[in-house]
Structures are given as C-alpha cells and as structure tokens.
Chains A and B, each alone.
Chain A
Amino acid sequence: MSETTQIGGDALLARRSGAWRERLRLVAMALGPVLGAIVLSGLVLLALGVDPIAYYGYVVDRGLINPYGLQATLTRMGPLLLIAAGLIVAFRAGIWNLGGDGQFLLSAVIVAALGPLLVPYLPVWLVLLVGLAVGAMVGAVWSLLPALLKAYQGVNEIITTLMMTFLGVSFANVLVKLAFRDPATTVPQTRTLIVADRLPRLFDTTVSSGLIIGLVAIVAVHLLMTRTAFGLKLRIVGANPRAAVHAGLNVPLLTMATFALSAALAGLAGAVEIMGVQGNVRADWNPAYSLTVVPLVFLARFNGFASIAFVFLFSVLSIGGESAARRTGVPNFFTLVVVAILLIMLGITEYLDQRRRAAGK
C-alpha cells in the first residue's frame, strides 16, 4: 500500500516538474526573443554612433522609473490593449486583419469631431459612452468590405484590409482638412475636447481610465476565445475552415462576426485614444499602432494575459523612446527596427524549439 502511494507520489512529482519545465520553456521562449531584440537593436544604435547603454538607460528612466513617464506608459497601454484584443480575436479565428490602423484612425477622427458637438447638449458621461459606441461602430463599418469579400468571395483579407488602411488614413486626413476642421486654428485639426470632458483619470494620477477599458477588453476577449462555445467555433474556423464547414458551422457568418468584433475593438481603441489622451486629431497624425502590436500578440502566442505584459513592455519602449528622441537625437523610427528584429527573433526561437523537440523524439 505504502509502495503504491510512493510510486504515485513519484509520478506526481515527475509530472509536476515536467509542468514546471514546460512553463519555464514558455517563459524562455517569450523572453529570449525580447533579450535578443534588445541586444541586436543596441548593435544598430552602436553602428549609428549612439551609445546603446545611455539610450536604453534613458528609455527605462523616462518610460518606467520617472513617475510622469510611468503614468504616460500606463495611459498608452489602453488603446494598445484594445488593438491587441482585436488582433487576438482575428488571429485565433485565422483571419489576418491587418487593417487596424485605418479602423483606428477613422474612428478617432469621427469621435474627435463628434465629441465637442455633443458636449453642449448631453452630460459628460453620456458623451463618453456615445463616443465609445460610435468609435467601435466606425471601426466595424470600415472592415465591412474586406469581411464581405472574404466571407462570400474568398478574397484574401491581407490585401483588402491593407488597402482599406491606406484608404482610411487618406480619408481621415480629408475629413480633418475639409469637413471637421476647427476654424479657430491655422493648422488643420478637429475641435478639441476639453480635459474636463475626457475619460476620467484614475485616482490622483494622470493615468486615463482607458487603461481599465483596455484591461477589461483583453481579459474578456481571452475568456471569450478560450472558455466559450462561440470562441471554440471561431478557433475551429481558424484551425481548419474546411473541417468547420463539415462540422456544420456557418463559416461566412462567423467570418463576418470575427471581422466586426476585431475591427470594433480597433475602433474602440481610436475612441479611447482621442477621449482619453489626445482630445483632437491633427492633420497627418497617424501613430500606426496596429502593425506594431501585431508582433506583440504573436510573441504572447495570442494569449490575453501574456499580451498585457508585452504591451506594457512596448509602451515603456515607446514612451521612453519618445523622450529619448528629443534628448539623444535618435528618431522614434528606431522602435520600428526593434519591433522588426523582435519578430524575426521570435521566428528563430520558434524554429529552434521545433528542432529541439524533433531531436528529442
């Protein structure tokens, strides 16, 4: 009797250490590319004649340690988390929605134009709610064409969503310059939503409550995709559309739903950025968040909680990088290089892991 429990205990122990090793492997596979990207990007800085240690030190100081920097970092996370949530829905359903930037920007412009118009007539909380709803709707509408083409014509959504992004960015500029221009300013921009009418700040900080919206959204999306029947259906479509048809799923309808949800979240991000941070849209403003969030979501393996960590890391890099740009003369384009190297390192890690596992078999 005691012997069997002994054996059982051993097996349990072995299983537990196996689970730990698995968890360690996942952590290493997530952190490895990050470290590799930081080192390689440091070499790029060195080649450009900038001291990488001073640069990174500045980034960490201004993005993480300095209280104002940290608050800016946390505020930046709000829209990024919403975009990441939208990408997780789409990618898990096997749909490449690369049009997030157009969805984000158009929603931002329309919300920016709408907000100041509504303020005299409605209470602030209602203006904010209407703004968020309209933002989500605009994002979803901007994905309608790619969604229809993908669902009913089988047209590759990578191309259509990218085209809609280019179209949307130009269209947003046209709207700012011609339709929604604030006549009181010389530089073309929309009317400004005054600070008192924006999304409330958290406690005594400058952190926008957009952070909470983003966190709620990404956790909700994670649970939706992993714990509900709807999420399972979407994942089946993503894993094997043909099998999904045979399983009796309405694939075109699910495709439409995926696009709508994904783009609505990107649109919501635009609304949060405007009503929480910017207050208005200047002509030619385009932060292009969406394409830079794509690698982060991959790094997190479409896991919502891991995405929060990587979005935080990226926010530190981007807020710190903006300060460092003024001080060290390295323009913000550097963040693009870091993200690109990060993606490639991610691919290489994946490849090495596969080889290691194949060798282990």
Chain B
Amino acid sequence: MSGLFTEAFLTSLVLGALTAGLPLMLAGLGEQISEKAGVLNIGIEGMMLFGAYLGFVVAYYTGSVWLGFLGGGLGGVLVAAPMALFCIRMGLSQIVIGIALTLGAEGLTALLHHFQFAQSYPRLPAVPTLAIPGLSAIPVIGPALFDRPPIAYLAVLAVAVTAYVFRSTQFGLSLQAAGDKPAALDAAGVDVARVRTCAVLITGFLAGIGGAFMSQVGAGIFVPFMTNGAGFIGIVLAMQARGRPLWVLCGALLFGACLSATTALQVAGVSIPTDVIQMLPFAAVLMVLVLFGRRASLPPALGTHYVRGAR
C-alpha cells in the first residue's frame, strides 16, 4: 500500500479518469442536447458503438487520427439519422426505436468486425499528444491533463460551446422550448421537428466521437460491444446534470476515475478481479440515483412526439 500515493499512481489515476471519462462526457453532453429538445435518446449506446467502429476503421485504413474522429462522428450521425426519421418525423416510440438502433449497431459492428478483423485484430499506433507548454510541466497533473491528444482539448471546449449555445443563442432557446413546450415554439414560428432533428444529429455526432475516442485513444483497437453501457451512463449523466453542461464534465470525470481505478490500483500493486471493478460505475450511478433521484429534472415534453394542433 505504500505505493498508493506515489507520483506514478496519481498520474495514472488522473490520466485514466480523463481517458475513461471523456467518452462518457461526450455521450452525456450529446444526450443533454437531445433531452433538452425533448427526445429521450436511448439509441446513444448504438451511436457510440458505431462511432467506435467507424472511427477505428477510418483511422486504420487512412492512417489519419483526425479522419478517424470525423469518421466516428459520421458513424454516430448514421445511427442518429434513422432515429430522427422514425421518432421525430414519423412519431414512433423513442424507446422502441432506441433499443432497436442499439441492438442493430451491436449486431452489425460485431458482424463487420468478425468478417474484417477477427483473424488479425489489428492495433492502431498511439495517438500523438499535444503538450501545452508550461502547464504540462506541473508535477502529477501536468502530464496527465496537459499532454493529451488534441481531441481531448476540443472535447472539453465542446462543453463550453454547448453552455454558451444553451445560454446565449437563439438555437439554445429553441432547444429548450422544444423540450419544455413545443406548442409554444411552434406558435412562435419555429419548426419543432427541425430543431429536434438538429439536436438528435448533433447528439449522434458527439456520441460517435466519444465512441471513436474509446477505440482510437482508449483501447487502440475495436472490440465488439466495447462501449459496454457507456452510452447509458451518458444518459444518467445528462439526467443528473439538469441541463448544465459543466456538471456533465464533472460527473464524467468522477465516473472516469471509478472506471480507471483498476489500472491505477494495478500500478500500485493491488489486484482486484476486473468484474468487481466493472460494477463500480453502475453502482455509482445507482447510488447517485438513490441519493438525488428525486431532484433529477427532465423537460416536461421529454419522450413525447409533437403533432401540430393535437391536444
């Protein structure tokens, strides 16, 4: 136990929290945008998984990290587009379609992986990092926080951008109205379906990048079912954050720390079966729900299809 508080342990804990937490944050941020607009996006797990797959494939064949992330985002959008079509345009149940998309993405990526990579299991080279001069020299947190792949900084920037959009732009206001009182938005002359479609596609893009982050930065490899519930944790993060993007970031880092505790403890020489560790984030989520469940507020029109003129 003497090794528990060494520099190496702390650095690996912070680093792990960031690596495991950023995909959760991207998913939570995306889910928050959907939920704000009144769409309960259960398909986000599928969006992440397809993003993870497509991001890996693009990065593997082009050798470009950036194209990989773009591919991941597009992968997420590819799964989000049917969600927008079926749930927002056609008014089908968001939960049923969400489950269908998640199952479909799981099956399809596992099939494609089986036919493409099951023999070889190729790995991606490590993603190059960008050290921020000065800050990265701080002991312990410096190398963990300020010597990361550029996409990590962009992801954190996305939180600020989302917060700004929510608070100070017309689109942010439209999003909020689409979730709180779509009829009012409609009366003001804004197309509710269009606002919600935008929200769902943005969600897909962010979730897809989150997935690509997992396969490109986190693992360096694509494994079937690799997101393992990260999308669902994102949904909880979004619920608990109650519309505030910064809270999503904090929550995600907390969960990330939970997830990365295994590797950090292994560095410190404590061995725990992986199954116990895998329970940690979900136990944490349930604990949060038990303690603060009553206060998780959701937009009134969440999950309901908007039909113009219907009462």
In the complex, what's the smallest C-beta–C-beta distance from B31 to chain A, in angstroms?
11
The contact size tier of chain B is 35 or more
Residues on B with beta carbons closer than 8 Å to the beta carbon of A333: 106-107, 110-111, 114, 224
User: Knowing A336-B110, A337-B107 touch, does A163 contact B293 (C-beta < 8 A)?
Assistant: no
Q: Is B296 an interface residue (CB 8 A)?
A: yes
8 Å CB interface, A48-65 against B: 48-49
Q: Is the CB of B103 within 8 A of A159?
A: no
In the complex, what's the smallest C-beta–C-beta distance from B52 to chain A, in angstroms?
15
Closest to A172 in B: B275
Residues on A with beta carbons closer than 8 Å to the beta carbon of B235: 159
Q: Is the CB of B95 within 8 A of A96?
A: yes
Q: Is the CB of A158 within 8 A of B279?
A: no
| Contact among A153, A291, A338, A347 with B93 in the assembled complex (CB-CB below 8 Å) | A347
Q: Is A166 an interface residue (CB 8 A)?
A: yes
8 Å CB interface, A281-326 against B: 291-292, 294-295, 298
A96 to B107: give the CA distance in the assembly, Å. Answer: 22
Q: Is the CB of A344 within 8 A of B97?
A: yes
A155 to B108: give the CA distance in the assembly, Å. Answer: 32
| Contact among B82, B90, B290, B296 with A145 in the assembled complex (CB-CB below 8 Å) | B290
A160 to B296: give the CA distance in the assembly, Å. Answer: 13
Residues on B with beta carbons closer than 8 Å to the beta carbon of A339: 100, 103, 107
Q: Is B92 an interface residue (CB 8 A)?
A: yes
Residues on B with beta carbons closer than 8 Å to the beta carbon of A155: 289, 293-294, 296
In the complex, what's the smallest C-beta–C-beta distance from B236 to chain A, in angstroms?
6
Q: Is the CB of A167 within 8 A of B273?
A: no
8 Å CB interface, B3-38 against A: none
Q: Is the CB of B289 within 8 A of A149?
A: yes
8 Å CB interface, A327-354 against B: 330-331, 333-341, 343-344, 346-348, 350-351
8 Å CB interface, B224-279 against A: 224, 228-229, 232, 235-236, 239, 273, 275-276, 278-279
User: Knowing A166-B229, A166-B282, A331-B110 touch, does A343 contact B236 (C-beta < 8 A)?
Assistant: no
| Contact among B93, B100, B104, B273 with A177 in the assembled complex (CB-CB below 8 Å) | B273
Q: Is the CB of B115 within 8 A of A295?
A: no
User: Knowing A167-B286, A171-B279 touch, does A48 contact B96 (C-beta < 8 A)?
Assistant: no
Q: Is B283 an interface residue (CB 8 A)?
A: yes
Residues on B with beta carbons closer than 8 Å to the beta carbon of A158: 40, 42, 95
| Contact among B107, B236, B239, B286 with A335 in the assembled complex (CB-CB below 8 Å) | B107
Q: Is B207 an interface residue (CB 8 A)?
A: no
In the complex, what's the smallest C-beta–C-beta distance from B100 to chain A, in angstroms?
4
Q: Is B125 an interface residue (CB 8 A)?
A: no
Q: Is B300 an interface residue (CB 8 A)?
A: no
A111 to B229: give the CA distance in the assembly, Å. Answer: 27
Closest to B91 in A: A351
The contact size tier of chain A is 35 or more
Q: Is the CB of A344 within 8 A of B289?
A: no
User: Knowing A163-B286, A166-B232, A292-B103 touch, does A178 contact B111 (C-beta < 8 A)?
Assistant: no
Q: Is the CB of A156 within 8 A of B224?
A: no
A153 to B112: give the CA distance in the assembly, Å. Answer: 42
Q: Is the CB of B42 within 8 A of A347?
A: no
Q: Is B99 an interface residue (CB 8 A)?
A: yes
Closest to A337 in B: B107
A79 to B103: give the CA distance in the assembly, Å. Answer: 20
| Contact among A96, A330, A350 with B92 in the assembled complex (CB-CB below 8 Å) | A350
Residues on B with beta carbons closer than 8 Å to the beta carbon of A153: 293-294
Q: Is A138 an interface residue (CB 8 A)?
A: no
Q: Is B183 an interface residue (CB 8 A)?
A: no
Q: Is the CB of B285 within 8 A of A163?
A: yes
Q: Is the CB of A347 within 8 A of B90?
A: yes
Q: Is the CB of B239 within 8 A of A156?
A: yes
In the complex, what's the smallest C-beta–C-beta distance from A13 to chain B, in angstroms?
37
Q: Is B58 an interface residue (CB 8 A)?
A: no
| Contact among B95, B99, B282, B298 with A291 in the assembled complex (CB-CB below 8 Å) | B99
In the complex, what's the smallest C-beta–C-beta distance from B308 to chain A, in angstroms?
14
Q: Is B84 an interface residue (CB 8 A)?
A: no
In the complex, what's the smallest C-beta–C-beta distance from B105 to chain A, in angstroms?
8
Q: Is B121 an interface residue (CB 8 A)?
A: no
A347 to B89: give the CA distance in the assembly, Å. Answer: 12
Q: Is the CB of B282 within 8 A of A170?
A: yes
Q: Is the CB of B104 within 8 A of A341?
A: yes
Q: Is the CB of B92 within 8 A of A351?
A: yes
Q: Is B171 an interface residue (CB 8 A)?
A: no
Residues on A with beta carbons closer than 8 Å to the beta carbon of B110: 331, 333, 336
Q: Is A154 an interface residue (CB 8 A)?
A: yes
Q: Is the CB of B275 within 8 A of A294?
A: no
Residues on A with beta carbons closer than 8 Å to the beta carbon of B283: 167
A144 to B286: give the CA distance in the assembly, Å. Answer: 12
Q: What are 30 inter-chain pairs, A to B, with CB distance below 8 A?
A: A145-B290, A155-B289, A155-B293, A156-B298, A158-B42, A158-B95, A159-B239, A160-B286, A163-B285, A163-B289, A164-B282, A166-B228, A166-B229, A170-B278, A170-B279, A174-B279, A177-B275, A291-B99, A292-B103, A294-B99, A334-B107, A336-B103, A337-B104, A340-B104, A340-B107, A343-B99, A344-B104, A347-B93, A347-B97, A351-B92
Known: A154-B294, A163-B285, A343-B99. 12 other contacts (CB 8 A): A149-B290, A155-B294, A159-B239, A159-B289, A163-B286, A166-B228, A166-B229, A170-B276, A330-B111, A333-B107, A337-B104, A340-B101
